[in-house]
């Protein structure tokens, strides 16, 4: 059975989707906000929260590159949002004390080493690092489960990272992503899940979604998504580049409840359930005399028809078998016909 184990939580098509509440950098460097979001995710019945680990000097050189969804440089944003090792340890402990899974995305080798030292149970690799093969291999060597986002990458570039996971026998999952913030629904491309399934049949699949609301996550479940990741915030009025596309607690709870309901509704065959038979007693129709009928009178649509409930001996589906046959006895109006009334 295709599944991976995340801190004791099995993930795969035989299990309800795992919803990851991505706190990311929505705390904007405020430790109090980070803990509040953990609390609010927990109150929304989330199983998992995810942060980002930024050790700036090992991650990037100083630059003035401004992301499309921001108004300041990526250097400035990450410098402000980076937590210390002690702060990250405290957030991990706090999350796990509440019974949730703590995940974190390292953006550098130093950050990956820090998380390994913290004994995280799994790693998340972001879309920007999907083709950062030196970092992918560094993480894969830990042999812990890896969830990798695949935005901005083709099947060919994803394949090279997958080969690394296979080389080290590292359990892995692939998340389809469109790296647009927000993502228009027309650019979500849920058909990519089919491409990933065909190219990587040994992969657990999921969706990391940047569109508004929960619609696309819900739609991805019947297509094979078993991990659903959405940015999360406690308050939409907070500042931050990812806040506008983030779910608030009520939306996160809706995603969790809805994903479980959709999972439970999948599969099955088109046959009659035993439990439906009770309903058929009132929902089905039976053949009924619609006027008084004399013995030897022929049955026509003028003297018999079909009416509920379905408690009669002759159901509506057998109506045509009776037409033009004769009555063996007098039959009163609104009597449900039985076979012994028919010649």
Cα torsion angle, 174, 178, 184, 186, sign: negative
Close Cβ partners of 258 (under 8 Å, ≥ 6 residues apart): 214, 218
- Cα distance between residue 39 and residue 99, in whole Å: 11
Of residues 190, 182, 186, 140, the one with CA closest to residue 160: 140
- Cα distance between residue 338 and residue 318, in whole Å: 12
Q: Which domain holds residue 306?
A: 276-341
Instruction: Tell me, yes or no, whether 294 and 317 share the same domain.
Output: yes
- CATH number (domain holding residue 326): 3.90.1210.10
Single residue among 208, 233, 265 that ends a domain in this structure: 265
Average pLDDT over residues 214-218: 98
Instruction: Tell me, yes or no, whether 296 and 238 share the same domain.
Output: no
The answer to whether residues 130 and 153 touch, using CB atoms and an 8 Å cutoff, is yes
pLDDT at 12 over 90: yes
Domain assignment present for residue 24? The answer is: yes
- Cα distance between residue 280 and residue 285, in whole Å: 9
Cα torsion angle, 274, 277, 278, 279, sign: positive
The answer to whether residues 101 and 121 touch, using CB atoms and an 8 Å cutoff, is yes
Instruction: Tell me, yes or no, whether 219 and 302 share the same domain.
Output: no
Note the pLDDT tens digit of each residue in 116-146: 999 999 999 999 999 999 999 999 999 999 9
In whole numbers, what is the pLDDT of the chain averaged over residues?
96
Number of domains in the chain: 2
Cα torsion angle, 226, 264, 185, 199, sign: positive
Domain assignment present for residue 225? The answer is: yes
Confidence (pTM): 0.91
Average pLDDT over residues 71-96: 94
Average pLDDT over residues 55-59: 94
The pLDDT of residue 65 is 86
Close Cβ partners of 177 (under 8 Å, ≥ 6 residues apart): 127, 149, 150, 151, 207, 208, 209, 210
The count of C-alpha atoms lying within 13 angstroms of the C-alpha of 340, restricted to the half-sphere facing its C-beta, is 0
Note the pLDDT tens digit of each residue in 60-79: 998 988 888 888 888 888 88
CA dist list (Å): 48 to 72, 149, 232, 250, 340: 30, 16, 11, 16, 65
Domain assignment present for residue 2? The answer is: no
The pLDDT of residue 64 is 85
- CATH number (domain holding residue 43): 3.20.20.70
Cα torsion angle, 18, 4, 153, 109, sign: positive
The pLDDT of residue 33 is 98
At CA 140, angle to CA 137 and CA 145, rounded to 5?
155
Instruction: Tell me, yes or no, whether 209 and 327 share the same domain.
Output: no
The pLDDT of residue 67 is 85
Single residue among 215, 237, 265 that ends a domain in this structure: 265
pLDDT at 250 over 90: yes
- Cα distance between residue 301 and residue 324, in whole Å: 9
Of residues 95, 117, 90, the one with CA closest to residue 106: 117
The answer to whether residues 48 and 103 touch, using CB atoms and an 8 Å cutoff, is yes
The pLDDT of residue 194 is 98
Domain assignment present for residue 271? The answer is: no
Average pLDDT over residues 253-265: 98
The answer to whether residues 228 and 18 touch, using CB atoms and an 8 Å cutoff, is yes
pLDDT at 28 over 90: yes
Single residue among 218, 239, 265 that ends a domain in this structure: 265
CA dist list (Å): 23 to 219, 241, 329, 339: 23, 12, 78, 69
Instruction: Tell me, yes or no, whether 42 and 163 share the same domain.
Output: yes
pLDDT at 151 over 90: yes
């Amino acid at each position: 059975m295709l599944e991976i184990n995340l801190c004791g939580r099995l993930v795969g098509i035989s299990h309800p989707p795992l919803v990851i509440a991505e706190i990311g950098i929505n705390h904007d460097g405020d430790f109090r906000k980070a803990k509040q979001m953990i609390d609010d995710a927990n109150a929304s019945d989330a199983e998992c929260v995810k942060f980002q680990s930024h050790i700036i000097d090992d991650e990037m050189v100083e630059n003035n590159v401004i992301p499309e969804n921001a108004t300041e440089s990526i250097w400035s944003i990450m410098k402000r949002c980076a937590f210390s090792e002690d702060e990250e340890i405290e957030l991990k402990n706090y999350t796990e004390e509440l019974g949730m899974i703590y995940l974190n995305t390292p953006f550098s080798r130093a950050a990956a080493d820090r998380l390994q030292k913290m004994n995280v149970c799994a790693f998340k690799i972001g879309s920007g690092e999907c083709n950062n093969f030196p970092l992918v291999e560094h993480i894969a060597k830990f042999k812990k489960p890896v969830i990798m986002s695949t935005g901005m990458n083709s099947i060919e570039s994803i394949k090279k990272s997958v080969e690394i996971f296979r080389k080290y026998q590292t359990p892995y999952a692939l998340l389809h992503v469109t790296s647009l913030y927000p993502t228009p629904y027309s650019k979500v491309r849920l058909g990519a899940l089919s491409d990933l399934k065909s190219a990587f049949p040994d992969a657990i699949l999921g969706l990391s979604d940047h569109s508004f609301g929960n619609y696309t996550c819900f739609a991805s479940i019947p297509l094979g998504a078993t991990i659903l990741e959405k940015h999360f915030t406690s308050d939409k009025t907070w500042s931050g580049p990812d806040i506008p596309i983030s779910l608030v607690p009520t939306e996160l709870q809706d995603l969790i409840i809805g994903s479980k309901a959709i999972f439970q509704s999948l599969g099955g065959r088109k046959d009659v359930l035993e439990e439906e038979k009770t309903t058929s007693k009132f929902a089905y129709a039976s053949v009924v005399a619609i006027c008084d009928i004399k013995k030897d009178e022929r049955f026509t649509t003028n003297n018999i028809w079909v009416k509920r409930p379905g408690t009669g001996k002759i159901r509506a589906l057998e109506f045509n078998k009776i037409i033009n046959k004769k009555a063996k006895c007098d039959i009163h109006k609104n009597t449900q016909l039985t076979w012994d009334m028919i010649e």
